[in-house]
Amino acid sequence: AQSVTQPDIHITVSEGASLELRCNYSYGATPYLFWYVQSPGQGLQLLLKYFSGDTLVQGIKGFEAEFKRSQSSFNLRKPSVHWSDAAEYFCAARPGSSNTGKLIFGQGTTLQVKP
Amino acid sequence: NAGVTQTPKFQVLKTGQSMTLQCAQDMNHEYMSWYRQDPGMGLRLIHYSVGAGITDQGEVPNGYNVSRSTTEDFPLRLLSAAPSQTSVYFCASSLAGTFRTGELFFGEGSRLTVL
């Protein structure tokens, strides 16, 4: 079955430190991949997306993600975390051949930033 | 620039009551969907629609009904609310089509409590 897994439920990093959030997918072919961020009490905002081409994609707020086909991964990174990055992060995927917008989401990773 | 609008933002129901969560988008998106968000479970798809007059079930459809009479609106109905339906509900929309990346645009959510 198609699935998206985020192995880390909760991560704490110090402000200014680097960040990597993990995401693994299980699909028959390369899916379209997304990272969303959710601030407390808010809806989800798209950070970045990958559907083809360069495997390193840049997003908003200084985030980037790297698609690795061999590892079925799409990890999110940021070189230097700011206190405002504290939020919940969701990885999502859908089949590239799909003609709907039906996304499957991972369980989410909550990021806490220490001062 | 409204995007996706959900109402109400908060609702408390008693077991057995019915209600409708409203969702409207002004981006002319073909695809609309409803997700529920529960702690540790990410977002799970309830129902979705690829256009007016077309709806389909997602991962957790039981206890919910939807209809899509216009492109803009996609209401979610709870016919007889149960405590297990206590959750945060998100409406999301996107452009559909095989060659579109299909990133979802989310509303701000509706927090429902069933007593």
Q: Is the Cα dihedral A68, A111, B45, B105 positive or negative? A: negative
Distance separating alpha carbons of residues B55 and B60, to the nearest angstrom: 14
Summarised one tens digit per residue, pLDDT across range B65-76 is 999 999 999 999
Size of interface A-B (CB pairs under 8 A): 74
Mean pLDDT, rounded, of chain B: 92
Verify whether the Cβ–Cβ distance A101 to B104 is below 8 Å.
yes
**Does the pLDDT of residue B2 top 80, yes or no?**
no
Q: How confident is the model at residue A99 (pLDDT cuts 50, 70, 90)?
A: low
DSSP letters for A10-56 = EEEEETTS-EEE--EEE-SSPEEEEEEEE-TTS-EEEEEEESSS-SE
Chain A partners of B45 at a C-beta cutoff of 8 Å? Answer: 102-104
Verify whether the Cβ–Cβ distance B101 to A99 is below 8 Å.
no
Structure tokens at A69: 């086909």
